[in-house]
Structure 1
Amino acid sequence: MSLELTAEEQATAEGRDGKGAAMAMRIVIEAARLLGAARLIPIASAHIDGALYHGDSGTLFAEALVEGGATVAVRSTLNVGALDLVGCSRVRLEEPMRSMARRMMEAYRKLGCEQSWTCAPYQAGHRPAFGTDVAWGESNAVAFCNSVLGARTNRYGDFLDIACAISGRAPDYGLHRPENRRARFAFDVSALPVAFLGADHAWPILGSLYGREVGEAIGVVVGVPRNPGEDALKAFGAAAASSGAVGLFHIAGVTPEAPELAAALGGEPAEATVKVTERMVADARRRLSTAGDAKAIDAVAIGSPHLSLAEFSELERLLRGRRVAVPIHACTGRHVVAALDSDGRRRTLESLGVVVVADTCVVVTPILPPRDGGVLMTNSGKFAHYAPGNTGYAVIYGSLADCVESAIAGRPVMGALAA
């Protein structure tokens, strides 16, 4: 299939709008050709994952776009960077990497991107309308955007995301196409206890199981008795995108493209049905923990995806003024930090031993104390998946209540999951 370009797209690629815009358009065009797209489509917004420092080449690429006069053509928010520019926490990134990371973050500012620095832009006001085409990076954000908001994006990686943002175009393929958004199989949780489905720790477990079962296929979850809320849905999508390659999921009666099962399946029968049992859930829960029978913990980390203001309120409720023996690293966006600062809540949390981390998270940049054989406790399915490889810490998975009680005791306390 040959790619057809408009006169405007061709002119931009040939340099009419400057070297930076031409480079971005050529990247999008070549990606479209490789993917077999017949055309490019306009996008309404972008969320950029490529501003996280992984090496000097990423910084130099962004600076080349700036030097070429490029700016984003659509609203573009930024995923986490490698530094906490708000100054809530200390990042142990050494020179010259620290300077290169700062230069990278500054380059994206000059390109016109919003300084959001959060993996949950949808909870910071970036919520594209249902049915609109966008180009989002970051796996949990992609899953939430497609599934919960009903906007349309593929999993745009570094540095195709910023190229789409500058050109205002994306390849017309994959999840931009309505026919590719239909669920092919069902993930039936109706046999699970209603109390479990209403618990916060359930959704990372179910997401982890779902991702392993489906890979990158499109499925629909059935048997959910009520809408679990945005924080549960973001936790499900983040875990599913980490254990699999999920870019879109449906939940019958909850997500916008699945008012009922038949709509999610496009009127066709499911090609397969996974009937989830309590034994499958127990196995998925065990897989999220790698620390074995640890008798002590060295750190607690929550907020992947970034904590919402509601989740901070629950953290405060669970702490009830008690001071922790092991620090709780609470990762969030600067939009939440501003709200916490407005009424002194951050200062109160920090006095109890909570380390607020803004603009970044403990799994993508060195913030946690170096520990050989250290044990990290988390309520995040995404942290549980990536932390052992990225931080060297073994992981214990638990509910938010488990994390708080364990941080206070300095050892694993697993009350909620044992119930």
Structure 2
Amino acid sequence: MAELALSEEDKAVLAGDRGEAAKLCLRLVVALAEVRGAPRLLAVDSAHVDGCLFHGQAGLDFVERLRDLGGRVAVPTTLNVGSLDLRHPEVVRADPETAAGARRQMAAYTALGCTPTWTCAPYQLTHRPAFGTHVAWAESNAIVFANSVLGARTDRYGDFLDIAAAVTGRVPDAGLHRDEHRRATIRLDCAALSPRLLGEDAAWGVLGHLAGRLAGSGVPVLTGVPAAVTEDQLKAFGAAAASSGGVGLFHVVGVTPEAPDLATVASPDLPVHVVGAAQVRAIRDELTTARGAIIDALCLGTPHFSLTEFERLAGLLSGGEPLRVRAYVTTSRAVLAEAERLGHAETVRAAGGRIIVDTCTYITPIVEPDVRTAMTNSGKWAWYAPGNIGVDVALGSLAECVASARAGRIVRDEALWAG
């Protein structure tokens, strides 16, 4: 194991030259580097902090202590979802003490100089890290998107470490920051799947769930898919793979920036798993925990809905019957502003949809208590919602979701899933 070499600037920070907050944060980063066997620390260009959800007093105490010590972030830093929709606080069913703690925690992160984006999808904003740059991103789907789709480099930074990296601008030279940990560990051969099925975001969520299960915390690579893969599909894949497994990076040959061909990211003896339509349907049905055909709600936007997804949803809703069930769409403030400017948000609201910002419905008590079954096109929402909020799930394509929300029961296009 290499001995950690600190720069003169690092030593000065540890001596208190940048204040007590930076000293405390660098001590955390150094401790992680020593555990990981990192030879040095790296400078990062940006950070994304996941620790904004109020889980109890410890998280609040930590960020308020950094604030009280005069802490400030050293690099541009965005903030993940919190436990409140600050623009529509009435939608969250939280007791006054919890709501007050959540509000204080969100305010304390902003006081450190973080940008109050309140989104799990910072890559949908105007600032996106460039290929090859080192960043300190937390939140599982943000990590995997930055590494895989943007070709930036971040390891998995959890609560406390994320803001420590933001305050210091430093991370260990370890994990997915290094070339040797970015090579594929398993290949998923998707050549047998139809282009129509691979054109659906929900199918990519199912594939991601399978990839996470097979790869664990390794690096899956997909082959046999068309080159015209959208960012929303890659988002769905990565989010599900990071939920069912610990995937922080994936490659899609001919699509993602580090994988122009298989040989660039994989050895010749890489294990191969052939994916067929029957397995895709089986995973879809496994994620569908609904016990009957009736649904009570529609939940979209995990990870947060993109502007392209709003356009698709508005197209499906425009001129059709109103939804018969409650519908929730979670997104960021920035995307919502554009969706409102283009008229997509009004179409969603006119059909009966409620748009939520700053938080997410699979972890915050927003969905009404009488909702027993919800339909979603998100593999991540389907994976977490039953355990987190006690709601059964039906997983389907966006078109199936809209058709089901209009009918009040699960509507399937089985020909799609036969692909």
TM-score (norm 2): 0.96
- Partner of residue 164, structure 2: 163
- Partner of residue 274, structure 2: 275
SS of 1:201's partner is: helix
CA contact (8 A) 1:379 1:397 kept: yes
Flag structure 1 segments of 5+ consecutive residues without an equivalent: none
- Partner of residue 56, structure 1: 57
Q: Which of 408, 412, 415 in structure 2 is aligned with 1:414?
A: 412
The alignment-based identity, stated in percent, is: 51
Deviation at 1:194, TM superposition (A): 2.2
CA 1:384/1:353 → structure 2, altered by over 3 Å: closer, same or farther? Answer: same
| Matching of residue 128 in structure 1 with residue 167 in structure 2 | no
CA contact (8 A) 2:324 2:406 kept: yes
| Matching of residue 397 in structure 1 with residue 395 in structure 2 | yes
CA contact (8 A) 2:189 2:224 kept: yes
Deviation at 1:127, TM superposition (A): 1.0
- Partner of residue 6, structure 1: 7
Q: Distance in 2 between matches of 1:415 and 1:335?
A: 33
Matches within 5 A, 1:190-269: 190-265=191-266, 268-269=267-268
- Partner of residue 333, structure 1: 332
Moved more, 162-171 or 334-343: 334-343
- Partner of residue 286, structure 1: 285
Tell me which amino acid in the other structure corresponds to 2:334.
H
- Partner of residue 381, structure 1: 379
Q: Distance in 1 between matches of 2:13 and 2:337?
A: 39
CA contact (8 A) 1:88 1:357 kept: no
Tell me which amino acid in the other structure corresponds to 2:289.
T
Deviation at 1:125, TM superposition (A): 1.9
SS of 1:256's partner is: coil
- Partner of residue 364, structure 2: 365
| Matching of residue 182 in structure 1 with residue 180 in structure 2 | no
Q: Distance in 2 between matches of 1:233 and 1:256?
A: 12
- Partner of residue 307, structure 2: 309
Deviation at 1:25, TM superposition (A): 0.8
CA contact (8 A) 2:4 2:38 kept: yes
* Residue deviations 1:293-342 (CA, integer Å, cap 9, x gap): x1311111010110011111111111123311111100100001111333
Tell me which amino acid in the other structure corresponds to 2:332.
G
Q: Distance in 2 between matches of 1:43 and 1:302?
A: 33
* Residue deviations 1:107-153 (CA, integer Å, cap 9, x gap): 01111111111111111123101111111001111111000100000
- Partner of residue 297, structure 2: 299
Q: Distance in 2 between matches of 1:264 and 1:223?
A: 15
Q: Which of 310, 317, 320 in structure 1 is aligned with 2:318?
A: 320
Q: Distance in 1 between matches of 2:77 and 2:318?
A: 38
Deviation at 1:376, TM superposition (A): 1.3
SS of 2:229's partner is: coil
Deviation at 1:415, TM superposition (A): 2.4
Tell me which amino acid in the other structure corresponds to 2:27.
R
Tell me which amino acid in the other structure corresponds to 1:414.
R
* Residue deviations 1:381-412 (CA, integer Å, cap 9, x gap): 00000000111001111111111111111111
* Residue deviations 1:11-62 (CA, integer Å, cap 9, x gap): 2122221111111111111111112112111011111101111112111111
Moved more, 33-42 or 127-136: 33-42
SS of 2:201's partner is: coil
Moved more, 79-88 or 304-313: 79-88
| Matching of residue 65 in structure 1 with residue 66 in structure 2 | yes
Deviation at 1:92, TM superposition (A): 1.0
* Residue deviations 1:196-240 (CA, integer Å, cap 9, x gap): 112232111111111111111112110012231100000010011
Q: Distance in 1 between matches of 2:341 and 2:87?
A: 14
Deviation at 1:157, TM superposition (A): 0.5
* Residue deviations 1:145-185 (CA, integer Å, cap 9, x gap): 00010000011110100000000000110110111111133
Moved more, 348-357 or 159-168: 348-357
CA contact (8 A) 2:314 2:347 kept: no
CA contact (8 A) 1:46 1:75 kept: yes
Flag structure 2 segments of 5+ consecutive residues without an equivalent: none
* Residue deviations 1:68-92 (CA, integer Å, cap 9, x gap): 1111101111111111112286111
- Partner of residue 85, structure 2: 84
Tell me which amino acid in the other structure corresponds to 1:342.
R
SS of 2:410's partner is: coil
* Residue deviations 1:321-368 (CA, integer Å, cap 9, x gap): 331111110010000111133355434422321010111111121100
- Partner of residue 36, structure 2: 35
| Matching of residue 354 in structure 1 with residue 353 in structure 2 | yes
CA contact (8 A) 1:80 1:360 kept: yes
Tell me which amino acid in the other structure corresponds to 1:208.
H
CA contact (8 A) 2:277 2:417 kept: no
CA 1:277/1:103 → structure 2, altered by over 3 Å: closer, same or farther? Answer: same
